[in-house]
Structure 1
Amino acid sequence: MSDRYEIFLTCPKGLEGLLIEEAVGLGLEQAREHTSAVRGMADMETAYRLCLWSRLANRVLLVLKRFPMKDAEDLYHGVLDVDWQDHMLADGTLAVEFSGHGSGIDNTHFGALKVKDAIVDKLRTPTGERPSVDKLNPDLRIHLRLDRGEAILSLDLSGHSLHQRGYRLQQGAAPLKENLAAAILIRSGWPRIAAEGGALADPMCGVGTFLVEAAMIAADIAPNLKREQWGFTAWLGHVPALWRKLHDEALARAQAGLAKPPLWIRGYEADPRLIQPGRNNVERAGLSDWIKIYQGEVGTFEPRPDQNQKGLVICNPPYGERLGDEASLLYLYQNLGERLRQACLNWEAAVFTGAPDLGKRMGIRSHKQYSFWNGALPCKLLLIKVLPDQFVTGERRTAEQRQVEREQAQAAADEAPVRQYNKNGNPIKPAPAPAPVVEQARLSEGGQMFANRLQKNLKQLGKWAKREGIECYRVYDADMPEYSLAIDLYQDWVHVQEYAAPKSVDPEKAQARLFDALAAIPQALNVDKSRVVIKRRERQSGTKQYERQSAQGQFTEVREGGIKLLVNLTDYLDTGLFLDHRPMRMRIQQEAAGKRFLNLFCYTATASVHAAKGGARSTTSVDLSKTYLDWARRNFSLNGFSDKNRLEQGDVMAWLDSCRDEFDLIFIDPPTFSNSKRMEGVFDVQRDQVQLLDLAMARLAPGGVLYFSNNFRKFQLDENLAARYQVEEITAKTIDPDFARNGKIHRAWKITAR
């Protein structure tokens, strides 16, 4: 066998440029770049070194043979011609991977089968011994790549993919592969920063992949030092003495690296469930002295300026997998930008994101951007130098202004207290510096315009709400068509619903406007970003608007008309309280004294609680959903009402049909459309209104009143109803100032017997 081999290194897409630099540094000659691969020439020692030391490759393939191939017969004979007895024993195990198509092979499974057959036929002994297939841990992993009529037959020296270093047995929901994490660190300049003794912090560390890869680079640890099973372990061409020499050298380098004073490497993670798995990964990598992981939000990570510490902040913030998520993540990116400005002046930062538009919202300019792929997702690595003149403040600074700022920063550094010592020779701790003031992020022109409108609305409506004792109200409802949001205040929480933009609007422009508006909300309404909840409201089909969106189970108590109600701002599209029905609920409270009250399609029974507060003799609330009836029960007990308030689970139409009771006051606010699994057929408010109202009016006591409303924008009340009952439209009287801008929020009627 020749002393030099053709070697193929495979890697994730986008890492080829970095991999060729690394491979040449490890001894690969005549190196050339391909898509997701690098090829070159190497002796056996270099091939082993690539297996042990490559931080970026997936596999190290040693080419056994290249041959032209026109069809499956050529493939079989080309593989059969190899002296397989030089590579494996007759009773060994093998696995074959086949890639590419053409030359009559359009199925990789068929191609792999042909290769396997040729090897088995070559090694079959007269006594019938032959190799068998083992896909998990074979003695030999064979790879055949078909490329434009040429077959490239290789031996996979790595075995399992090299990104599997062995320390990460536990991972989070969206893990970065180890070799991609290493590539991002290298691109971010970490080898240089580490060599200078710099620090590293990851404020969203997950299970610690960046931290471990960074420490391994800094401590000169070969990434695959701890791997026991290799693709060459049972290969007959393996040279154990040569491998042992290289492995011992790597072991000595790792021991020397770990004997140095550890660098300051810290991870912070908000999700408590990931802390222990992260620490376990660090321990398995043997790096507990180098790496510490703490639980905390982005805002808690704290470098050590007292030790004149500088270094790299690196993170992979979430991208927003579900529709509407990106909006909620805006504040996370803003908080990250604020933290960098506050605590990391003169550090470098690297933000790896699949949502570059969010990256732009950090309020800090990136001086360089690199494209990467995370699996099939295109991503960007934003490199930032956290200097005073990097801050994006909505206006261009002149070179003179930047020079003045640099001089001011230098002057401040020069005035830093000189370390003083007491008579015992111990350093005197300087008084803590005052906490830096975070400047409010400057808004774009559109964002400022939106903020002005919000503040104007808040000023007008705030006075009215205070006068009326109202704590929950709508402060903005798509007043400006290009900012298509509904914004509601629930005490000190803000509930934002984004209406899906019409198809005629460019999605990128709509996204940019949304981000402008979201950046303006906390400033304009003077609330903490953590108290802004964002949802996207599509055209809903069926009962989708009532379905659970999240599972945080966080209820907030609010007050209205002298009663307390529970709202849930996170888990459902609606919050449990329809704010536009406030005047109707107050009307019911005022008219309920001594009456038997019926609430159909009751939802969380807020109107029934108002009726009980107003002194109703009894209340009956009917809904199909057990979840909402449980919520209703909690609303009643919160106000001390229970025994005389009935909660009935059932399909309203069927319930009315079988009911024989009489009621003095009835409220009906049906959905536009419902097709719940638990009800017969489908309810359609336009089609079924007459049947619904006839059934309900049959239950109305003499002198009683029925209030009917709905929010279907195209709804027309059936004219035949006016012939049978006294019907009066009262929509205008049921709309408060906070909904006056939206005339179609709902329509309402008062119906009595003729």
Structure 2
Amino acid sequence: MSDRYELFLTCPKGLEGLLAEEATGLGLEETREHTSAIRGFAELETAYRLCLWSRLANRVLLVLKRFPMSNADDLYQGVLEVDWAEHLEPTGSLAVEFSGNGSGIDNTHFGALKVKDAIVDKLRTATGDRPSIDKMNPDLRIHLRLDRGEAILSLDLSGHSLHQRGYRLQQGAAPLKENLAAAILIRAGWPRIAAAGGALADPMCGVGTFLVEAAMIAADIAPNLKRERWGFSAWLGHVPALWKKLHAEALARAEAGLAKPPLWIRGYEADPRLIQPGRNNIERAGLSNWIKVYQGEVATFEPRPDQNQTGLVVCNPPYGERLGDEASLLYLYQNLGERLRQACMNWEAAVFTGAPDLGKRMGIRSHKQYAFWNGALPCKLLLIKVQPEQFVTGERRTPEQREREREQAALGQSEPEVDNKKVESNQAPAQIEQARLSEGGQMFANRLQKNLKLLGKWARREGVNCYRVYDADMPEYALAIDLYHDWVHVQEYAPPRSIDPEKAQARLFDALAAIPQALNVDKAKVIIKRRERQSGTKQYERQATQGRFTEVSEGGVKLLVNLTDYLDTGLFLDHRPLRLRIQREAAGKRFLNLYCYTATATVHAAKGGARSTTSVDLSKTYLDWARRNLSLNGFSDKNRLEQGDVMTWLAADREEYDLIFIDPPTFSNSKRMEGVFDVQRDHVELLDLAMARLAAGGVLYFSNNFRKFQLDEGLAARYVVEEISATTLDPDFARNSKIHRAWRLTAR
């Protein structure tokens, strides 16, 4: 065999250039880049060194043979011609990986099987000994890559992927692979910063991957120094003496690096469940003296107290996979930007993001951006110099102002001028942020503040603390915004297909940035959901599992709302006047609430002195919620909760009721009901069944929110029917008169 080998190094997509630089520095020659890989030539010593020292590669493949192939027989024959006795004992084990297609092979499993058959047939002895298959820990891992009619047969020297350093046995929900984390640190300039004695902080450290990789770079520790089993460990071509020499050199370098005064490397993580796993990973890496991890939110992380110390802030914010994540992510990025400006002057920052548009909302410009891939997800690395001239403040500054800002920054003074108005050092961050709203965001904030001023007076006078403050008043900002005490519930109406999605998202971010300022609420108390046209029971389906209930009050009763887990909150605010009307009329009456949902109207009826109440719904979840609402107000006796399909239940019921409230869904189906309910088609039958249960002199209130609904004219011939929609809308829904329609029915 030759003393010089062709090598392939695989890597995550986007790291090819960095890997080529690293591998060349480690001795690879004639380096060329390919998609998710590089190739070059080197002696075995360099191949070993690449295995030990590459922070970026996934695998190091030593090419055994290249040969043309046009069919499966060519593949088998080409592999068979290799002298496999130089590589593996007949009693050894192997695993085969196959990539590519063509030349009559369109199934990688079939291709791998042909390669395995050729190797086994070549090594089979007269006594029947032959290699076995071991996919987990084989003596030899063979890789064949099919590329445009050429087969490239390689030996995998690395064994398990090189990103698996061995220290990260515990991880969070969506961790970065170790080699991707190392690439981000290298691209962000951490080797330069570390060499100068700089510090490093990760304000969203998870289980500490950035921290460990950074400390290993700073302490000159080979990333795979602690790996015990390699792809070459049982390879017959392995030269143990050469490997031992390289490994001993790496050990000596690590000992020397760890003997130096440790750099200041700190991580902060909001989720308390990740703190101990992160510390365990750090301890396994042998870096507990270099790295410390603390629990804390982004807004509280502190760089090194030494004011002269600078360094790198690096983080990988969550990407947000669910609808409704926009608000929390926007505020997370805003908080990160605020913290960088306030506490990290003259530091550098690297933000790895799957949502680059959110990166623009930090209020600080990036001077460089690099494209990366995290698995199949395209991402960007934003590199930032935390200096006043990079701050986005919404105003244009003269060169003299910029120079004065630099002087103030050098003296340790904060936030010089915003919007041509001097901001005092003790001014609240929210005031500073207000100047950073876009023009559209400021217009939206102005409208919110105007609405809040007008509706706030009415709400205080009427004792209402849950109300709608905005409902798509400005068509380009298609949101419904409700206040629940000090919480804000935002529903985004899905934009029409004619609207550019990027523009729609930009407007949403503008609005979300404005909401906390305009309504003077904590960002953490803004919840966003997307409301689209619903079918069936979709609007009632669970969207999250936080299980966090908030107590609100209305008309002297207490009610529980859940702002996070469902599209609706458990309290339809537009029905407030109807609920209060029921409370006023309920004294001494038998009350029936059909499609009761969380039974808020029932609570009002009980508060008004109803003799008894019966509430019917198909959902056990909402009946449990109804039970909690009743108990919260001390109502447990004479308040019956019935689970069942309303139409079926009504047909079987024989009780009489003095006051009935019906607010059905537009459309409903369920495994527990027969057929499908359609309010337009079925409302006549529903009302006839309900009116049959209405006692003499009783009243039935019927409401629904189907905008195209038409009440059947024939009902007026059998009952006294009065539309009362206009009287069932409070000022907070005056702008949306079609939010629901309501009728009062009595017997003739």
One-letter amino acid matched to 2:630: F
Q: Is 1:594–1:617's contact at 8 Å kept on the other side of the alignment?
A: yes
Give the match for residue 724 of structure 1: 718
Is 2:563 the counterpart of 1:563?
Answer: no
Is 2:714 the counterpart of 1:699?
Answer: no
Q: Distance in 1 between matches of 2:274 and 2:535?
A: 36
Give the match for residue 223 of structure 2: 223
Q: Deviations over 1:55-97 (max 9, x none)?
A: 0000001111112222222222221121111111111111111
Matches within 5 A, 1:145-224: 145-224=145-224
Q: Distance in 1 between matches of 2:69 and 2:398?
A: 65
Identity of aligned residues (%): 86
Work out which of the residue numbers 567, 579, 594 in structure 1 matches 2:588: 594
Q: Secondary structure at the match of 1:8?
A: strand
One-letter amino acid matched to 2:235: W
Q: Deviations over 1:207-239 (max 9, x none)?
A: 111111111101110000000110000011100
Is 2:7 the counterpart of 1:4?
Answer: no
Give the match for residue 56 of structure 1: 56
Matches within 5 A, 1:473-622: 473-622=467-616
Q: Is 1:319–1:326's contact at 8 Å kept on the other side of the alignment?
A: no
CA-atom RMSD, angstroms? 1.4
Give the match for residue 264 of structure 2: 264
Give the match for residue 120 of structure 2: 120
State the TM-score, normalized to the length of structure 2.
0.97
Pair 447,722 (structure 1): closer, same or farther in 2 beyond 3 Å: same
Give the superposition deviation at 1:362. Answer: 0.8
Give the superposition deviation at 1:650. Answer: 1.4
Is 2:741 the counterpart of 1:751?
Answer: no
One-letter amino acid matched to 1:485: L
Give the match for residue 287 of structure 1: 287
Q: Distance in 2 between matches of 1:550 and 1:10?
A: 39
Q: Secondary structure at the match of 1:306?
A: coil
One-letter amino acid matched to 1:535: K
Q: Distance in 2 between matches of 1:437 and 1:546?
A: 40
Give the match for residue 654 of structure 2: 660
Pair 413,527 (structure 1): closer, same or farther in 2 beyond 3 Å: closer
Q: Is 2:369–2:381's contact at 8 Å kept on the other side of the alignment?
A: yes
Work out which of the residue numbers 436, 444, 467 in structure 1 matches 2:438: 444
Q: Distance in 2 between matches of 1:327 and 1:277?
A: 28
Give the match for residue 424 of structure 1: none
Q: Distance in 1 between matches of 2:603 and 2:519?
A: 30
Give the match for residue 343 of structure 2: 343
Give the superposition deviation at 1:54. Answer: 0.1
Work out the number of aligned pairs and report it.
736
Q: Secondary structure at the match of 2:314?
A: strand
One-letter amino acid matched to 2:42: A
Q: Deviations over 1:711-745 (max 9, x none)?
A: 01111001110000000000000001100111110
Matches within 5 A, 1:243-262: 243-262=243-262
Give the superposition deviation at 1:696. Answer: 0.6
Q: Secondary structure at the match of 2:340?
A: helix
Work out which of the residue numbers 627, 631, 634 in structure 2 matches 1:640: 634
Q: Is 1:371–1:380's contact at 8 Å kept on the other side of the alignment?
A: yes
Q: Secondary structure at the match of 1:294?
A: strand
Give the superposition deviation at 1:571. Answer: 1.1
Q: Distance in 2 between matches of 1:617 and 1:107?
A: 73
Q: Distance in 2 between matches of 1:117 and 1:664?
A: 84
Q: Is 1:672–1:684's contact at 8 Å kept on the other side of the alignment?
A: yes
Give the match for residue 671 of structure 2: 677
Q: Secondary structure at the match of 2:470?
A: strand
Give the match for residue 273 of structure 1: 273
Give the match for residue 333 of structure 2: 333
One-letter amino acid matched to 2:32: R
One-letter amino acid matched to 2:688: D
Q: Deviations over 1:631-666 (max 9, x none)?
A: 111111221221121111111111111111111111
One-letter amino acid matched to 1:482: E
Give the match for residue 316 of structure 1: 316
Give the superposition deviation at 1:7. Answer: 0.8
Q: Is 2:327–2:527's contact at 8 Å kept on the other side of the alignment?
A: no
Give the match for residue 406 of structure 2: 406
Q: Distance in 1 between matches of 2:466 and 2:77?
A: 79
Give the match for residue 419 of structure 1: none
Q: Structure 1 regions of 5+ residues with no counterpart?
A: 415-432
Is 2:479 the counterpart of 1:462?
Answer: no
Q: Is 1:61–1:155's contact at 8 Å kept on the other side of the alignment?
A: yes
Pair 412,91 (structure 1): closer, same or farther in 2 beyond 3 Å: closer
Q: Distance in 2 between matches of 1:318 and 1:409?
A: 31
Q: Secondary structure at the match of 1:101?
A: coil
Give the superposition deviation at 1:413. Answer: 7.2
One-letter amino acid matched to 2:354: G
Give the superposition deviation at 1:411. Answer: 3.9
Q: Distance in 2 between matches of 1:413 and 1:598?
A: 66
Give the match for residue 36 of structure 1: 36
